[in-house]
């Protein structure tokens, strides 16, 4: 029998349609408007919809008809959007998805509360998983949601630390970013009929993919095109984030260059533009871009080899890998 392939365009359309309907219901049915319109605004800005796509793909690996996964996959996207609304406050970010962030368009109180209600909506939508797997899915979701908060706190702690090891960084990004990609795949797989063990193998795939994904996010923050990435270029440098780029540079530089780094990073008399320019210059001297891609690739390869170990339909696995590759190659 010929293998039916995963129609990415259709899946993305279905996801966006479900989000659109959901947003429309917020606007027409809920009050006060001041709480819900920022949520609809933010969801309307788009985004890559990676997490719901991973849920549909995780389901599809075990069951070609992934429709049952659509609503729960929107829950994961809502959770992700909650983290972004709050992340933009924490990171003092002016731009998101090429548009003004919620705390800048309205104010911080609005962004806190709209973020909170987005999280609650996510829980509500997650009820759509079938009853046999509900407890299992919620259990992992709660664990992952807590880990995301832990990762975000570490990310902020690190802004104030001068010495952070790459190992600590990897632990931090596993928490703030990668576990949610793992969960997206896990949930999809469970909806598609996978056993806990099979779904957990897929969770490991997502974890490694997520680490690679966050390293690329760090790279794009500095070397991406603002119009494509839709975020302020150099925002991580301005906020003293401990990114892979910075930690690699610090670990691979001479004492004198290290002092130059520290001067640019922690001097109070330097403008944001000069700070970014000077740090990028140091990154270029140290071939940071090339070496960051090497690190990214090593986690990407781990994700692929974890997937290879999984005993599922070979053709569907190939489709999943093709999608992973688009994430690896992305310019935004
Ligand atoms: C941004 O996530 C935050 C990270 C975890 C790196 P995405 O890059 O998936 O953001 P959108 O949803 O496409 O805007
Ligand atoms: C955000 O990491 C991770 C979460 C929102 C949990 P970043 O702060 O690097 O994400 P961007 O670059 O703002 O999207
Ligand atoms: Mg952040
Ligand atoms: Mg941020
Ligand atoms: Mg980032």
Could you tell me the CA-to-CA distances from 106 to 47, 80, 88 in Å, in that order?
20, 20, 13
- Among 24, 38, 52, residue whose Cα is nearest residue 118: 38
| Two structure tokens written together for 197 | 């063990």
pLDDT at 267 over 90: no
In this prediction, residue 3 carries a pLDDT of: 66
CB 37 within 8 A of CB 27: yes
pLDDT at 248 over 90: yes
Closest C-alpha to ligand 2, atom 6: 176
How far is ligand 5, taken at its centre, from the CA of residue 254, in Å? 27
Three-class DSSP category at 18: helix
Closest C-alpha to ligand 1, atom 14: 47
Residues 6+ apart with CB under 8 A from 240: 159, 160, 265, 266
Compute the residue count for the chain. 332
- Ligand 2 atom closest to residue 91's alpha carbon, by position in its atom list: 8
In this prediction, residue 263 carries a pLDDT of: 86
Burial of 56 (0-12, 13-18, 19+ CB in 10 A): buried
Ion ligand 4, residue ranges at CB < 5 A: 87, 91
How far is ligand 3, taken at its centre, from the CA of residue 88, in Å? 7
Digit-coded pLDDT (tens) for 124-177: 999 999 999 999 999 999 999 999 999 999 999 999 999 999 999 999 999 999
Digit-coded pLDDT (tens) for 216-237: 999 999 999 999 999 999 999 9
Beta strands in 11-105 (DSSP E): 95-96, 99-100
In this prediction, residue 262 carries a pLDDT of: 86
Question: Whole-structure pTM over 0.85, yes or no?
Answer: yes
């Amino acid at each position: 029998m010929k293998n039916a392939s995963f129609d990415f365009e259709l899946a993305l359309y279905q996801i966006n349609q479900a989000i659109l309907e959901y947003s429309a219901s917020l606007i027409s049915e809920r009050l006060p408007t001041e709480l819900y319109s920022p949520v609809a605004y933010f969801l309307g800005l788009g985004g890559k919809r990676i997490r719901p796509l991973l849920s549909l793909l995780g389901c599809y690996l075990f069951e070609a008809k992934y429709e049952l996964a659509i609503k729960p996959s929107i829950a994961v996207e809502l959770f992700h959007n909650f983290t972004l609304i709050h992340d933009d406050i924490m990171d003092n970010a002016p731009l998101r998805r090429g548009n003004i962030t919620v705390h800048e368009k309205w104010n911080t109180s609005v962004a806190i509360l709209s973020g909170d209600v987005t999280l609650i909506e996510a829980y509500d939508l997650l009820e759509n998983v079938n009853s046999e797997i509900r407890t299992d899915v919620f259990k992992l979701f709660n664990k992952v949601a807590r880990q995301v908060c832990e990762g975000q706190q570490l990310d902020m702690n690190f802004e104030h630390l001068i010495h952070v090891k790459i190992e600590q960084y990897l632990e931090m990004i596993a928490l703030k970013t990668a576990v949610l990609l793992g969960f997206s795949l896990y949930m999809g797989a469970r909806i598609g009929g996978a056993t806990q063990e099979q779904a957990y193998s897929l969770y490991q795939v997502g974890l490694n993919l997520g680490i690679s994904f966050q390293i690329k996010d760090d790279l794009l923050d500095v070397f991406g095109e603002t119009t494509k990435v839709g975020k302020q270029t150099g925002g991580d440098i301005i906020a003293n984030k401990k990114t892979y780029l910075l930690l690699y540079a610090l670990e691979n530089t001479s004492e004198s260059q290290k002092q130059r780094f520290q001067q640019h990073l922690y001097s109070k008399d330097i403008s944001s533009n000069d700070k970014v320019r000077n740090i990028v210059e140091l990154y270029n001297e140290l071939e940071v871009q090339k070496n960051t891609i090497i690190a990214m690739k090593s986690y990407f390869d781990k994700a692929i080899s974890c997937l290879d170990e999984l005993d599922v339909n070979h053709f569907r696995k190939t489709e999943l890998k093709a999608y992973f590759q688009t994430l690896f190659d992305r310019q935004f």
